[in-house]
Structure 1
Amino acid sequence: MSEEGLMSLMEHLGELRKRLFVVLLVLVAGLVLGLFLAKPMYEYLTTTEQAREIGGFHTFSLWDGIGIYMKFAFIIALVPVVPLAFYQLWAFVKPALRKHEQTAALRYVPFALLMLLIGIGFSYFVVFPMAFHFTSEISRSLGLEETYGIVQYLTFLVNIVVPISLLFEMPVLFMFLTAIRILTPAGLRKMRRVAYFGMVVIGVVVTPPDVVSDLLVAIPLILLYEVSILMCARIHRKQLLKDAEFDSRYESAALSE
């Protein structure tokens, strides 16, 4: 490799490190902010219908209180970090994009925040109550006395909300990668069977073991995947038209010379 090529590679690595550092910095700042917002968030979650059904929480370790704060801080930190990560990725690949591609890719940054919030709402208001009531009914049918630790309750909640919320970023991520020419609709179609299988597995893991509950989670995720393919195909068609227009102009300029 030439010295010029090596310097170029080192510059790219330095730029990538700078982008990752910014994301990490915002993550830390989000965690700090989350620590301050953890208590009101905790007070809200412990007054919901599910929390009232339990009747009271218990702690089994001196570290449980700290664990609660950190779980809330992490969820709160995700809200600014996810769109920022998309922006930093856009900024990193921006020099390699054409002008119209730069503008098109940047539009997905606010959309990433919107999809994250939709994912949080879906997982918390639809999936979590369904999973909670099912597990509670099983315990009662076995004659078990429900004595829940606060950490176990919140871990159950977080393990449902975070994965599903991040999966709702799938259309944004796929469209973004298509806009910067890393992904193609044809590639997504080839991955369709594997993607479907993965989403059904996720539906089975985060919901009660019955077909209806599994489908209530798996079907929206599969629909998101199909919508992603359609949106990526639309973006790809525009790219092909732009490329054809660019090639036509280049050939015309070459002939005129």
Structure 2
Amino acid sequence: MSEKNKQGEMSFLGHIGELRGHLIRALLAIAVGAFLIGFNIKWVMDTILLGPTKPGFLTFKVVNYFSRMVIGQDSITLPEHFPLQVRRLFDQFNAMMAISIVGGILLAFPYIVWELWKFISPGLHENEKKNSIFIINSTWIMFVLGALSGYFLVMPFVINFGYFFSLSDSIRVDIDLSSYITIFLQIVLGMAVIFLFPIAVYILTSMGVLTPMFLKTYRRHAIVVIMMVAAVLTPADVLSMLAAAFPLLILYEICIIMSSRVYKRVQKNNNTEDNKDHLTKIEN
């Protein structure tokens, strides 16, 4: 059986084979990223993952700077040595595997999106390719911005609350490594995925499924949902929840503005096509 039929269109099996090639290359990119993370795991652990546990972390410096201006003293004072511990034999190994795999996905994500675009681009028209390039680039940019938002805006406040909250002075604070890694990945990856919401809004508005009027009408409901999502992402205090909800609320307002522009463009294109059809009927 030939790869293409007489009309030059790729067969179903041809599409499957093409997709398999893209998936294999994407998995190889993830494997390379995971290997790089695993090979430098101590630096990644000490510098990146444990960064929000150190007093000199950027977020703490900014908060304490403004705190000294307002109340004359630091509001966040984490210890120099954060009390992490392991109580199971393979906790550190399991943590290394989880960090390597997730880190590999993060490093390879732009390439994964690029492979996706290469798979779908042959079947698109020129104007559709331009829009798809915008969507592809926006996807990995928003994903990275979401991960950075979780890392710098949410995780530090979760750590600060979790460490200083106390039921009794007789309780010693020793935090399990597995618990810390789980919360870290939950927040960073959760924020990264949520930041893809504008991409979904753009696509749905372009398809005519979603309108800016709908987003404006249900803004209050969206705020409630955002607060619930922020509470799930941050198993901590109200301040941590607000730190997660604030960028999501801004993101929702950006979605309304973007949806309005896309909606106007779609309506303009539809009107232009209707006028062309009307003129064609008159000429006929």
Q: TM-score range by the shorter chain?
A: 0.7 to 0.9
**C-alpha separation in 2, matches of 1:33 and 1:50:** 25
Q: Which residues of 2 match residues 47-196 of structure 1 at below 5 A? A: 48=51, 50=53, 53-55=80-82, 57-73=84-100, 74-81=102-109, 84-85=112-113, 88=116, 92=120, 95=123, 99-139=126-166, 142-189=169-216, 191-196=218-223
CA change 1:212–1:25 in 2 (3 A) is same
TM-score computed with the length of structure 1 as normaliser? 0.77
Q: Report sequence identity in percent.
A: 22
State the structure with more CA Rg: 2
CA change 1:18–1:201 in 2 (3 A) is farther
Offset at residue 91 of structure 1 (A): 5.5
CA change 1:76–1:173 in 2 (3 A) is farther
Who is 1:4 aligned against?
none
1:41 to 44, 57, 62: 44
Aligned length: 247
Matched-pair contact (CA < 8 Å) for 1:131–1:206:
no
Offset at residue 158 of structure 1 (A): 1.0
Identify which range, 133-142 or 197-206, moves more after superposition: 133-142
TM-score computed with the length of structure 2 as normaliser? 0.71
CA change 1:91–1:177 in 2 (3 A) is farther
RMSD: 3.4
CA change 1:165–1:255 in 2 (3 A) is same
2:246 to 219, 226, 245: 219
CA change 1:35–1:192 in 2 (3 A) is farther
Matched-pair contact (CA < 8 Å) for 1:54–1:146:
no
CA change 1:188–1:110 in 2 (3 A) is same
Offset at residue 46 of structure 1 (A): 6.0
The amino acid across from 2:33 in the alignment is L
Residue segments in structure 1 that go unaligned for 5+ positions in a row? 1-10
Q: Matched residue of 1:107: which SS?
A: helix
Residue segments in structure 2 that go unaligned for 5+ positions in a row? 1-10, 55-78
**C-alpha separation in 1, matches of 2:118 and 2:215:** 21
Matched-pair contact (CA < 8 Å) for 1:54–1:148:
no
The amino acid across from 2:244 in the alignment is V
**C-alpha separation in 2, matches of 1:55 and 1:213:** 19
**C-alpha separation in 1, matches of 2:207 and 2:133:** 10
The amino acid across from 2:197 in the alignment is M
CA change 1:20–1:224 in 2 (3 A) is farther
The amino acid across from 1:70 in the alignment is M
The amino acid across from 1:117 in the alignment is V
The amino acid across from 2:279 in the alignment is S
Who is 2:275 aligned against?
248
Greater helix percent: which structure?
1
Identify which range, 135-144 or 219-228, moves more after superposition: 135-144
Report Cα offsets for 1:205-257 as digits up to 9, x if no partner.
Answer: 33365444322321321221121122012011111111211221232233223
CA change 1:253–1:122 in 2 (3 A) is same
Identify which range, 112-121 or 15-24, moves more after superposition: 15-24
**C-alpha separation in 2, matches of 1:123 and 1:209:** 14
Offset at residue 161 of structure 1 (A): 1.0
Q: Matched residue of 1:29: which SS?
A: helix
**C-alpha separation in 2, matches of 1:188 and 1:16:** 37
